[in-house]
């Protein structure tokens, strides 16, 4: 049973509130305030209200003075740190991680604090999978509400394309369902418009069979080969099967065990293919990728889905200081590749830091099977997603790494589409938010949904949409 203390803006929570309240002087506050981005600790929230079930969420929404905005925490992975914004009251769902599977209907119901690893583990017990992201400790909530891209998007679409329903606590403390039939305007907005419209307590997903192992791993090429290989990748992926996904990472090689010592610190290309189709065809497909250059290292092998979907965890562990930018490309042109190469060569040189430019191939189901207007998530014209990631540990280095991220964005913006994916970049301001969902009509539709569901902008700690 928790003890609740009066805090500015909060009236007492009801006696049946089952969660825990953390204030800065409480033991456990610092731990509860930790987010993926280590920079969150610089400016902690005012109070964290950890909920154990949807009734707790309703209690918090009703108990907080309606003039005070609420921050919402799912998995805590957003680089913006909005899940623990400075001075905010946080509705923390991190303990609500139950995932239940209906193997006959192939429907999975997950509480909003679940992580991708929880979803994968529960689904794989029944030979099923929901397409999500590539890092097992990312939260399903923020990922799903922004779109959800990963190793299975070319085969099954984005996470939002496989979302069947949400249970939502609204700004005025009601519990509503959102699906194609019930509150369809809310359901449309939730599928890409992120945390602007309410607090989702449950997600329901369509799952797909994935019963055997997949073939996955890293292939590393040295710096001299990077441009040539990247130039051929767009055509290669256009004719590749949907069961093949590809992430191409251009990076000043970090001292990871799978990278030979002689390339540490030099620019390399790390390709991460995942082939989830018929295993009999896997060798031919992976051989064709290897033939694009002269690999230094080939770690592609048969693995379980669970192992595959945590392969990238080691590259970007939680707790470091992070800066992230991103956008969409129609294709990586020669100009884009030259820009990527020069930006990766021109990073602040501090020991232990990492600067990477990731290129994720779209195409297949995510691009072809779902219309631009089917959800708020935008995909029009996007052949590739680019994402720059800087990771470091010392606070005094912030300016240099942020400046690098800004340079990358300035260089790649003219080569990018005006729409984009909101989850693989930090918030880039109101004019970017007005364009990132695609055409003006889509943003207007989101602003109208905001006016309907959150007219006073209680859910303001996010990539915020102003009520129309
Ligand atoms: C290392 C790393 C790898 C990543 N890989 C991928 C990837 O492969 N694919 C991909 O698509 N994205 C990826 N992302 C981005 C990721 O999707 C976003 O950071 C996402 O916001 C994380 O969700 P979360 O619940 O963990 O975040 P949180 O920080 O908890 O939440 C982010 C925001 O989402 C909203 N929100 C969270 N929970 C709720 C809720 N229950 N109801 C309403 N609003 C809510 C809030 O506005 C909150 O501020 C990655 C991020 C990192 C740091």
438-460 tens-digit pLDDT: 999 999 999 999 999 999 999 99
**pLDDT tier at 254, thresholds 50, 70, 90:** confident
Segment 357-368 shows an average pLDDT of 98
What is the reported pLDDT for 2?
36
Query: 289 C-alpha to center of ligand 1: Å?
Result: 31
> Which domains does the chain carry?
20-92 (3.30.43.10), 99-210 (3.30.465.10), 214-424 (3.40.462.20)
Look up residue 365 and give its two tokens: 């189901």
Neighbour tally for 12: CB within 10 Å: 10
What is the reported pLDDT for 7?
53
* Closest among 175, 166, 141 to 56, alpha carbons compared: 175
Percent of the chain at pLDDT > 90 equals 91
* Closest among 365, 295, 294, 354 to 323, alpha carbons compared: 354
Helix, strand or coil for residue 106? coil
What does the angle CA 142 – CA 146 – CA 149 come to, to the nearest 5 degrees?
100
Neighbour tally for 50: CB within 10 Å: 23
Neighbour tally for 176: CB within 10 Å: 14
Neighbour tally for 28: CB within 10 Å: 12
Give residue 217's region: left, alpha or beta (phi > 0; psi -120 to 50).
left
- In angstroms, the Cα distances linking 278 to 132, 272, 290 are 21, 18, 19
What does the angle CA 284 – CA 288 – CA 293 come to, to the nearest 5 degrees?
150
**pLDDT tier at 258, thresholds 50, 70, 90:** confident
Ligand 1 pocket, 316 CB below 6 A? yes
Q: Ligand 1: which residue has its CA nearest to atom 33?
A: 142
CA 308, CA 302: separation in Å to the nearest integer? Answer: 9
Q: Which burial class, exposed, middle or buried, applies to 319 when counting CB atoms under 10 A from its CB (0-12, 13-18, 19+)?
A: middle
Segment 87-96 shows an average pLDDT of 97
pLDDT digits (tens, 9 = 90+) for 38-63: 999 999 999 999 999 999 999 999 99
Alpha helices in 309-416, H assignment, sequence order: 334-345, 365-368, 398-412
- In angstroms, the Cα distances linking 328 to 11, 91, 143, 323 are 45, 32, 17, 18
Ligand 1 pocket, 240 CB below 6 A? no
Whether 172 and 64 have beta carbons less than 8 Å apart is answered as: no
Q: Which atom of ligand 1 is nearest to the CA of 35?
A: 29
**Which of 32, 96, 143 has most ligand 1 atoms within 8 Å of CB, for mutation?**
143
Whether 130 and 159 have beta carbons less than 8 Å apart is answered as: yes
Q: Residue written as tokens 């992975």?
A: 77
What is the reported pLDDT for 1?
30
Q: Ligand 1: which residue has its CA nearest to atom 1?
A: 316
Partners of 20 in the β-ladder: 50
DSSP symbols for 46-100: SEEEE-SSHHHHHHHHHHB-TTS-EEEESSS--TT-GGG-TTPEEEE-TT---EE
The dihedral over CA atoms of 286, 291, 293, 298, expressed in degrees to the nearest 10, equals 40
Query: 264 C-alpha to center of ligand 1: Å?
Result: 31
Query: 142 C-alpha to center of ligand 1: Å?
Result: 3
Query: 64 C-alpha to center of ligand 1: Å?
Result: 24
Segment 363-371 shows an average pLDDT of 98
Query: 77 C-alpha to center of ligand 1: Å?
Result: 5
What is the reported pLDDT for 257?
84
Look up residue 379 and give its two tokens: 């995909």
**Which of 88, 109, 138 has most ligand 1 atoms within 8 Å of CB, for mutation?**
138
Look up residue 160 and give its two tokens: 């939002």
What is the reported pLDDT for 4?
44
Segment 398-413 shows an average pLDDT of 98
CA 134, CA 46: separation in Å to the nearest integer? Answer: 32
Query: 143 C-alpha to center of ligand 1: Å?
Result: 4
What is the reported pLDDT for 9?
58
Counting every residue written for the chain, the total comes to 468
What is the reported pLDDT for 10?
61
- The answer to whether residue 233 scores a pLDDT higher than 60 is yes
- In angstroms, the Cα distances linking 318 to 34, 157, 362 are 9, 27, 26
Whether 100 and 122 have beta carbons less than 8 Å apart is answered as: yes
Ligand 1 pocket, 462 CB below 6 A? yes
CA 329, CA 278: separation in Å to the nearest integer? Answer: 30
Ligand 1 pocket, 203 CB below 6 A? no
């Amino acid at each position: 049973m928790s003890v609740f203390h009066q805090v500015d803006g909060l009236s007492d929570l009801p006696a049946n509130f089952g969660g825990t309240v953390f204030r800065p002087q409480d033991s456990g506050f610092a731990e509860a305030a930790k987010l993926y981005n280590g920079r969150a600790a610089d400016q902690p929230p005012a109070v964290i209200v950890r909920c154990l079930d949807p009734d707790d969420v309703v209690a918090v929404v009703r108990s907080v003075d309606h003039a005070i905005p609420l921050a919402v925490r799912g998995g805590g992975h957003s680089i913006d740190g909005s899940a623990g914004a400075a001075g905010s009251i946080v509705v923390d769902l991190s303990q609500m991680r139950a995932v239940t599977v209906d193997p006959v209907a192939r429907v999975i119901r997950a509480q909003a604090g679940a992580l991708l690893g929880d979803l994968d583990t529960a689904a794989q017990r029944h030979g099923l999978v929901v397409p999500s992201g590539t890092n097992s400790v990312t939260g399903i909530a923020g990922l799903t509400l922004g779109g959800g891209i990963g190793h299975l998007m070319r085969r099954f679409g984005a996470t939002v394309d496989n979302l069947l329903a949400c249970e939502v606590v609204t700004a005025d403390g009601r519990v509503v369902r959102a699906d194609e039939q019930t509150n369809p305007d809310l359901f449309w907005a939730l599928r890409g418009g992120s945390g602007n419209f309410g607090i989702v307590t449950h997600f329901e997903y369509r799952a797909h069979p994935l019963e055997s192992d997949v073939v996955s791993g890293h292939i590393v090429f040295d710096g001299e080969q990077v441009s040539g290989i990247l130039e051929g990748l767009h055509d290669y992926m256009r004719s590749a099967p949907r069961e093949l996904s590809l992430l191409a990472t251009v990076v000043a090689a970090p001292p990871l065990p799978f990278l030979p010592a002689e390339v540490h610190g030099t620019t390399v290309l790390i390709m991460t293919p995942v082939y989830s189709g018929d295993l009999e065809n896997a060798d031919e497909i992976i051989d064709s990728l290897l033939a694009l250059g002269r690999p230094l290292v080939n770690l592609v092998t048969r693995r379980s889905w669970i192992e595959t979907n945590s392969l990238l965890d080691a590259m970007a562990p939680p707790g470091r200081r992070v800066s992230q930018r991103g956008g969409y490309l129609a294709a990586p042109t020669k100009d884009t590749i030259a820009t990527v190469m020069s930006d990766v060569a021109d990073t602040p040189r501090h020991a232990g830091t990492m600067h990477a430019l990731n290129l994720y191939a779209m195409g297949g189901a995510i691009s072809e099977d779902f219309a631009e207007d089917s959800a708020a998530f935008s995909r029009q014209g996007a052949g590739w997603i680019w994402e720059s990631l800087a990771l470091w540990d010392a606070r005094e280095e912030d300016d240099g790494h942020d400046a690098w991220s800004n340079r990358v964005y300035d260089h790649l913006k003219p080569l990018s589409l005006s729409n984009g994916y909101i989850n693989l970049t930090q918030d880039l301001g109101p004019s970017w938010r007005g364009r990132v969902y695609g055409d003006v009509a889509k943003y207007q539709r989101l602003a109208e949904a905001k006016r309907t569901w959150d007219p006073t902008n209680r859910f303001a700690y996010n990539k915020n949409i102003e009520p129309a």
